[in-house]
Chain A
Amino acid sequence: MSKQEQHWEKTRNLLFITLAIWFVFSIGIFLFGAEMQESNIRPFGYPLTYWFTCQGSLAIFVILIFWFAGRQEKIDDEFGFSEREGDK
């Protein structure tokens, strides 16, 4: 496998992990909205589903993007595909 193919395979795997986490917090948990609302887990005292819609999912997305960016930069560095000065 060429260097570029390996790079793309890792990139694609990172995409799948990122999208899986994204799926859980944007779609997955809301399949069980009513059940979660009754749960005893109450972040800051808010009902669980309500908290996810107000803050939880939103904050997780912010963190997820920064995490994803960091991981992708590592992959690019590993294969020497990061941008250098003068690339325009």
Chain B
Amino acid sequence: MTLSRRRFIRNSAAGGVVLAAPALIGSVARADDGPIKLGSLHDLAGPLAATGEPMVYAIMLAVKEINDAGGLLGREVELINYDTQSNIQLYSQFAQQLAVRDKVDVIHGGITSASREAIRPIFSRFRTLYFYNTLYEGGVCDRNTFNTGTTPAQTVEKLVPYAMNLWGKKAYIIAADYNYGQITAKWMRKYVEDNGGEVLSTDFFPLDVTNFGPSISRIQAAEPDLLLSAMVGGNHTAFYRQWAAAGLKDEIPIASTTFGLVNEPATLEDAESRGVLGSYGYFEELQTPASQAFVEAIKSEHGAQTPYISELAAASYEGVHLWAEGVKKAGSVERMAVIEALETGLSFEGPSGPVVVDPKTHHVTRNTFLAEVVESRWNVLETFEQQAPLDTAAVCDLEANPNDTTHYIIDI
């Protein structure tokens, strides 16, 4: 039951202190200023809760591992998590609370780009280190911020040619009508054209659209070889349903940069989802020992109702560990010291493989994967080793402009 899981989040966040305390008495007595504080801002209620929940689980796991290994610099790490309830105002409020009152040493959090843009300036202003662990449209260039999720150049670039090789050159793009969808659609168009294909049309859908009948007719009228999708959220899941119900799923195949990021394969039936291609920085089904251990650790803690453990969860976990590596190397939790340590190109071996900080962009070079849905699970087909965030690198150089804080819209 989620009620007990919610309680669990709170109890374990606070309880971590209690449980770990006896072990710390000997080793940590010299740390006169108490535990190191790690703030977390994620939605646990409202439409984004299904996305936020596994991210918080992953952060809890990472904090627990760090503490089990004796903490950082001999000090224990305390997790302070606030539920932002899918509400932007609460993001700003809790960001201020973490930075000003709780005086945390680092913050991991933010899901949508809107939430990140609301809180990022607050952390710059109050000089608090910030990690954004979500896949997004790319372009954030801020020395105070580290972005561990994938950006379009790391995934779309692989997905589009792969799908075109399989299915043909004429693509039709559908995407959620907000920044992520619009920018991803631009990247899709670029890679389709780079690979000698043609984009017949691009449709954008507001997040609350539930009836896709007319759009499905438009797509059919255009007769594409394949459909590229960047649809987002529970309402858009209905698109795949209505697409399959119209009998089109076997006629026009789908490749997507968002399908399965939250729970689409789990909520759709095999017949509706089989054969959809996706590309992310992590899949729960990845059969490496590190990945299996990661999934096992979360599922044994939170039970069968754990939502899908996607790239967002893996990147959150890797984000916390990367920060911990930075603290270890700096020998301090002081913000600039940690930033400089991370900028030496620190890396962490996570469930997705090595994750390496790119000093110029504060994004990461990481493995990405391409997979296909079979029986409501992802079947990982290809691994692309060590993909660099080339899109952001085209606009952002923090070594040359350390004071930059822009979110660039990358021109394609």
Do A and B assemble together? no
Interface residues of B (CB under 8 A from A): none
Interface residues of A (CB under 8 A from B): none
